[in-house]
Every structure is written in C-alpha cells, then in structure tokens.
Amino acid sequence: MPDTSVIQNTQLIKQKAQEMGFLFVGIAKATQLDEEARKLELWLNKGYHGKMNYMENHFDKRIDPRKLVDGAKSVVSLVYNYHNPALQSDSEAPKISQYAYGKDYHFVIKQKLKDLLAFIQNQIGAVNGRCFVDSAPVMERDWAKRSGVGWVGKHTLLIHPKQGSYFFLAELIIDLELEVDHPIRDYCGTCTRCIDACPTEAISPKGYILDGSKCISYLTIELKDALPKDFSDKMGNWMFGCDICQQVCPWNRFATPHDEPEFLPHPDLLDMTKADWQDITEEVFRKVFKKSAVKRTKFSGLKRNIDFLDTL
C-alpha cells in the first residue's frame, strides 16, 4: 500500500490540475517501455514516419523517461480539451483541423504545466521535473494509455470513454513517487469507421498502426517537399491537418466544446471563403494565424497546400 504522503500528494496534484482546466489526469510509474519500444522500432523500420527523421533520434530517451529526468519516478499524463464544433462557413473552402483554430497549444499548455510544476514544488518541496507538450522524445499516447486516461484507438489516437478524442496530451515527468493508475480496456470493438473513412488508407486494415507517410496531417504539415501527385484525389480538401478519423468516431458523440479562450479562432478565420483562401497574402496569413500552430507550415507551405487542392 502507498504511504499516506504518496496518496495525499497524488490527490493534491490531480485536484490542482483539474482546477487549471485539465480534463483528466493519470499517473504511471516512470520505467522503460519495452513492448512499446519494439513496436516503435518496427514502425520506424517500415518507414511509416516518412521524412520525419527526428523520430529516429533519441530512441533511448523515447522509451525511458529516466533518461529525460534524473531519478524520475512518475509520469503524470494530462488531457486538455480543444473541441470546437464550429465549422467554416463556406463548405467549399479548404479545411483546417480544429485543433489549430486558436493559439498554438504548445504555448498555452506548456505554461499551465510550468505553473503546475511550480505549485508542486511550492506545496510538496524539492521536486525535480520537466514539462512536455508534443515537443520532445516522449511517447505521450503510450504513457496516457498506461495511466488510464484512455485507450489507443484503431486510428492510433487516444480515446476517453466520456470525452472522445478531441484533446491534447501533455506530461510532467517528476522524481516524486505518486500513486499509479491502471490502463482501461479498449472499447473500439468491431468498429472500423476510421479505417473505412481514411481517404489515403493510412490506417492499417486491422487498425492500431498508422502509416504516417500517407496521413493527410503529415502531408499538409510535416512534409516540406512537393505533395505527391498520387494523392491528388485523396486530400479531402484539407489544407492543414485532417479530422476525418475523429469526425467518424462514435466516441466523439461525447465530446464537449472547450472553454479555453486562447483556443478561440481569429474572428476572420471561419468566415474566409474559398476565394479568400485562394487569394491569401502573407499579410493576411500573419494576421489570421498570429501565434497559431498553422505558422509551423509557414505561408509558403499553406499556399502550397491550397494550390495543390486547386488543381484537383
């Protein structure tokens, strides 16, 4: 049985995280991910990471959080809602994934994590740790799965039975022993909606494996080269990211709209027409996507995507 201080510290951290707006918090023991390491190695060997060469780096750190934080004992996984059911007013306009409607989540959530770590250090004492938001070699979905905040669905995204999958994942790796949570069961069952709906067949026929090099999100964001011509009839009019596998997932009927002001879209974003996007200038790009995750692809990248869609 965990001692009283471990239980109290765990409850303190979870309560504070939820007060800060995180939907769910789960904790796993910081240890090496052996099974996940084998799967990652196989995935990389098949070239499913495309030209994301950084995925090959720091393999030892990806599979062992103790190499990221000395003496790490706990991985705290946190879930933050970004769901915005509002659609672009012009149904023919190039589409943008809803996670990128507002301010870049890296900045918003990273600050919350820093505040949470500072709270832990202030309330508990000398705790060493690091904050991670999709920006370091951390296998976030595997840790979230281990900590019981959801299961990894057939589309390879994390699903929570009460919230669906429209959320960001973040982690605190700390050298503080906490009470661990346990994985929940997989509720995908025989459903294949995400597999059937993916226009590029990026999801394997049985699910749970994603060929990233075929994913529309990879093609429109990560790929810096010209878009492959053999995808010309498969892009589904997406210019940045893709939500198809989430849109068809039955579990997202439980998704609720976020209440994070930082994630609200620029007033002009959802009302831009197809013609507006075709004629977009760098000045408009900077205005609409100020501090946005879309800046990752830069104006030239977004224009490449829009022009590619125009040839369809």
Q: What is the pLDDT of residues 177-236, one digit of tens each?
A: 999 999 999 999 999 999 999 999 999 999 999 999 999 999 999 999 999 999 989 999
> Which of helix, strand or coil describes residue 94?
coil
**Whether the model pTM is above 0.85:** yes
Among 174, 204, 237, the domain boundary falls at: 174
Whether pLDDT at 312 is above 60:
no
- Look at residue 243 and tell me if it is in a domain: yes
Answer yes or no: is 179 within a domain: no
Shared domain for 248 and 279, answered yes or no, is yes
Alpha carbon 312 to chain centroid distance? Answer: 29
Share of the chain above pLDDT 90, in %: 95
Is there a single domain that holds both residue 198 and residue 122? Answer: no
Under the banding of pLDDT at 50, 70 and 90, the label for residue 137 is: confident
Taking residues 97-103, report their average pLDDT.
Answer: 97
For residue 26, the cross-strand partners are: 77
pLDDT at position 100, please?
97
Please indicate, yes or no, if residue 200 is contained in any of the structural domains.
yes
Closest-CA residue to 75 (of 33, 115, 34, 108): 33
User: Which of these is catalytic: 90, 134, 175, 276?
Assistant: 134
Whether residue 200 is found in the same domain as residue 158: no
- Residue 91 banded pLDDT, cuts 50, 70, 90: very high
Tell me how many domains the chain contains: 2
Per the structure block, which two tokens stand in for 275? Answer: 């013609």
Same structural domain, 142 and 241: no
Is 136 in the same domain as 198?
no
- On whether both 296 and 268 belong to a single domain, the answer is yes
Q: Which of 267, 246, 87, 253 is nearest to 154 (CA)?
A: 246
- Structural domain harbouring 19: 4-86+98-174
Mean pLDDT within 160-174: 98
Burial class (CB in 10 A: 0-12, 13-18, 19+), 54: exposed
Q: What is the pLDDT of residue 136?
A: 78
Mean pLDDT, the chain, integer? 96
Residues 49 and 170 in one domain: yes
**Residue 176 identity:** L
Q: Is 259 a catalytic residue?
A: no
pLDDT, mean of residues 42-71: 94
| Residue 48 belongs to a domain | yes
Q: 211 and 79 in one domain?
A: no
Buried b (16+ CB within 10 A) or exposed e, 102-124: bbbbeebbbebbeebbebbeeee
Q: What pLDDT band is residue 4 in, cutting at 50, 70 and 90?
A: confident
Q: Is residue 162 situated within a structural domain? A: yes
155 and 219 both lie in a single domain: no
* 73 and 156 share one domain: yes
167 lies in the same domain as 199: no
DSSP code, position 99: G
Q: What is the pLDDT of residue 304?
A: 97
Lowest-pLDDT range, 2-11, 16-25, 269-278?
A: 2-11
Same domain, residue pair 135 and 204: no
Residue 182, domain member (yes or no): no
Question: Is residue 185 domain-resident?
Answer: no
pLDDT score for 83: 98
Q: What is the pLDDT at residue 2?
A: 59
Ordered alpha helix ranges (H), the chain: 4-19, 34-45, 59-63, 105-124, 140-146, 193-197, 216-217, 244-247, 274-278, 282-288, 298-310
Q: Is residue 93 part of a domain?
A: no
Per-residue pLDDT, 310: 81
Kindly state the percentage of the chain with pLDDT values over 70.
99
190: CB partners within 8 A, 6+ apart = none
Task: Work out the number of other CB atoms within 10 angstroms of the CB of residue 189.
Answer: 8
